[in-house]
Amino acid sequence: MALMSRPLLLLSRSDLVKNLVSTMPVSAGIVRSYVPGETTDAVVEATARLVDEGIRVTLDFLGEDTLDAEQAEATVAAYLEVLEALSARGLTRMAEVSVKLSAIGQALPDDVAGGGHKIALENARTICRAARNAGTTVTLDMEDHTTTDSTLAILRELRKDFPETGAVLQAYLHRTEADCRALAYEGSRVRLCKGAYNEPEEVAFQSDLDVDRSYVRCLKVLLAGQGYPMIATHDPRLVEIASTLASRYGRDQGSYEFQMLFGIRPDEQRRLVKAGERVRVYIPYGQEWYGYLMRRLAERPQNLSFFLKSLISKK
């Protein structure tokens, strides 16, 4: 679809390219510009630097589509470790975590310990409890459309005990305006993004224009509602429209927030903070950065030549 750069996504599936890129140390410029580190220490440092600038953070331990229960447990352990480290540094007022349910067991087959849905729910509960004890929150990332119902069902279950748990909705899906209506209730934290997966036309808008229009319709529902909208986009037009709509609906600054990815439009992140807006940066970290990096590079055609040059020079 138009949101993706197909050549780069196809290239990213080549084992040769994967081996070449994966042998680059994470400190290589192109990787570090999107992923500040592989370890808990590195990401806590990156968090502290942003917090010093008045920017909030949500941390994502990279790794998705786990088909291995032990790997899912290792991911849960990584979240518990980072939550403890954030708490020890006094950062949990400004930093939360984002979790992909497929990284904590959602994709496991039904014959494993009650099935992926149940395992992911229990693992997410463990992370939510640790986040609550550390004084912060969890947001459930949204993945491809085949997981949307399961993810929203897990969200509903989690919110019974942890109503602060954040949801993510993707404007490219036809269903999302209705999902926004269902989730625009008091206390409900909802991140609205365009959507990052390659979805078929039966379920998703295919043109940039249609996705943007859907994003604006969803924004109106969320900003007019009682919840806490988290406006996740780097798109300058949508940021401007969101600001205008926020004042039209009588929203005070701080009753919603802007979110951007680490390394993308950092000047805009600072400009918004200076303008009094609440801004949160999503920081991915860990060793499994390859797929994430490829999705980010694929989002911008200009990145292809930048990427190839850095592959050749290995910088």
Ligand X SMILES: Cc1cc2nc3c(=O)[nH]c(=O)nc-3n(C[C@H](O)[C@H](O)[C@H](O)COP(=O)(O)OP(=O)(O)OC[C@H]3O[C@@H](n4cnc5c(N)ncnc54)[C@H](O)[C@@H]3O)c2cc1C
Kindly report the length of the chain: 315
> 215 near 171, Cβ under 8 Å?
yes
| Cα angle, residue 259 at apex, residues 233 and 256 outer, rounded to 5° | 110
CB of 308 to ligand X, least distance (A): 15
Identify residue 261 by its one-letter amino acid code: L
**Which tokens sit at 277?**
């807006």
Shortest Å, Cβ 103 to ligand X: 12
Residue 73 Cβ, how far from ligand X at the closest point, in Å?
Answer: 22
Nearer to ligand X, 24 or 241 (CB): 241
Least separation in angstroms between residue 114's CB and ligand X is: 25
Which is nearer to ligand X, 79 or 197 (by Cβ)? 197
Write out the two tokens for 123.
């693992």
CB of 130 to ligand X, least distance (A): 20
Contact between residue 279 and residue 258 where contact means Cβ atoms under 8 Å apart:
yes
Residues 6+ positions from 232 with CB-CB distance below 8 Å: 168, 191, 192, 193, 258, 259, 260, 282
Question: Residue 191: in which H helix or E strand, if any?
Answer: strand 189-193
Write the DSSP symbol of residue 252. Answer: P
Q: What angle do CA 292, 295, 299 make, to 5 degrees?
A: 145
Contact 259, 95 (CB under 8 A): no
At residue 152's C-alpha, the angle toward residues 112 and 62, to 5°, is 65
- Judged by CB, which is closer to ligand X: 180, or 196? 196
Q: Which is nearer to ligand X, 6 or 90 (CB)?
A: 6
Instruction: Check if 271 is active-site.
Output: no
Q: How far is the CB of 20 from ligand X (least distance, A)?
A: 20
Q: Tokens for 34?
A: 């999107």
Closest separation in Å from C-beta 208 to ligand X: 7
Q: Which residues bind ligand X (CB under 6 A)?
A: 141-142, 168, 170, 191, 193-197, 232-235, 259-261, 264-265, 282, 296, 299-300, 303
Residue 161 CA, distance from chain mean position: 22
Q: Out of 32, 159, 189, 191, which one is annotated catalytic?
A: 191
Q: 37 vs 195, which CB is nearer to ligand X?
A: 195
Distance CA 162, CA 132 (A): 8
Nearer to ligand X, 92 or 147 (CB): 147
Distance CA(295)–CA(36), nearest Å, equals: 16
Cβ-Cβ contacts under 8 Å for 250 (sequence gap 6 or more): none
Catalytic-role residue among 141, 159, 179, 212: 141
For the question of residue 144 being annotated catalytic, the response is no
User: If you ran DSSP here, which 8-state letter would residue 54 be given?
Assistant: T
Residue nearer to ligand X on the CB measure, 133 or 237: 237
Q: Which residues are catalytic?
A: 141, 191
